[in-house]
Amino acid sequence: MALRQHFQQMLADVERRLADEGGLVERAVDDSCRSLLTRDAGLAGKVVEGDRYLDLMEVELERLCLDTLALQQPMASDLRFLAGALKINSDLERMGDLACNVAKQTWRITAEPVPEFAQPFQELADAVRSMVRRSVDALLRRDAALARDVWREDAGVDERFRGMLDLCMRLMKSGRTGVEDATIYVAAVRNMERIGDHATNIAEDVVFIVEGRIVRHNAEARIAPPSPDGV
């Protein structure tokens, strides 16, 4: 009994650390967006420093997951959770890197972003931050339906991304912004869109944890819950 309790504590620790990482990533997305739009170098530095801490958390959590797998030899849903946690941990760390990339553009941009870019970029960041939060919530709740909602949200983020690429080109051609800053706009938008992709990866892993189905590269399985007979 004591061994089982210890195992459950280890699983709970993994879950808590994933939740903590998710919270840090969500904050990094928000702070990186604000730092760029306001040219706040100090806030950008805060995001970069926070990414170093997230890197350390990722390594420690990976070690915990591997130790748990080696020492406890879990089966069934517990094994799926730990396998999924390893991948989710990696996705969260990568999200932090991408938010850090956005923040670093703050140190390169030559002028405060024009309003035509600032508003849709803020909306893109808000949509991505929502995907991060909801993907982690889906994990904590073991909610495959919520995970599928996150996957659907990614289509909207992709549409915003494409629209903003066109916008950046128009701003540059019209002279509303210089070539260097337009390049920075594009880099920031692309990094935000990639964060949304990683949130989608987490949603896919949640479906695997809950249902035992690998839905990656399978659009139908992403959308549809399993039938009563498990197919």
pLDDT computed for residue 231 by the predictor: 43
- Domain ranges for the chain: 2-223
Check whether 145 has a pLDDT greater than 90: yes
Average pLDDT along the chain:
93
Across residues 58-70, what is the average pLDDT? 95
Across residues 214-224, what is the average pLDDT? 66
pLDDT computed for residue 71 by the predictor: 84
> Who wins on pLDDT, 30 or 227?
30
Check whether 223 has a pLDDT greater than 60: no
Check whether 22 has a pLDDT greater than 60: yes
Q: What is the 3-state secondary structure (H, E, C) of the chain?
A: CHHHHHHHHHHHHHHHHHHHHHHHHHHHHHHHHHHHHHCCHHHHHHHHHHHHHHHHHHHHHHHHHHHHHHHHCCCHHHHHHHHHHHHHHHHHHHHHHHHHHHHHHCCCCCCCCCHHHHHHHHHHHHHHHHHHHHHHHHHHHCCHHHHHHHHHHHHHHHHHHHHHHHHHHHHHHCCCCCHHHHHHHHHHHHHHHHHHHHHHHHHHHHHHHHHCCCCCCCHHHHHCCCCCCCC
Check whether 1 has a pLDDT greater than 70: no
CATH number, domain 2-223: 1.20.58.220
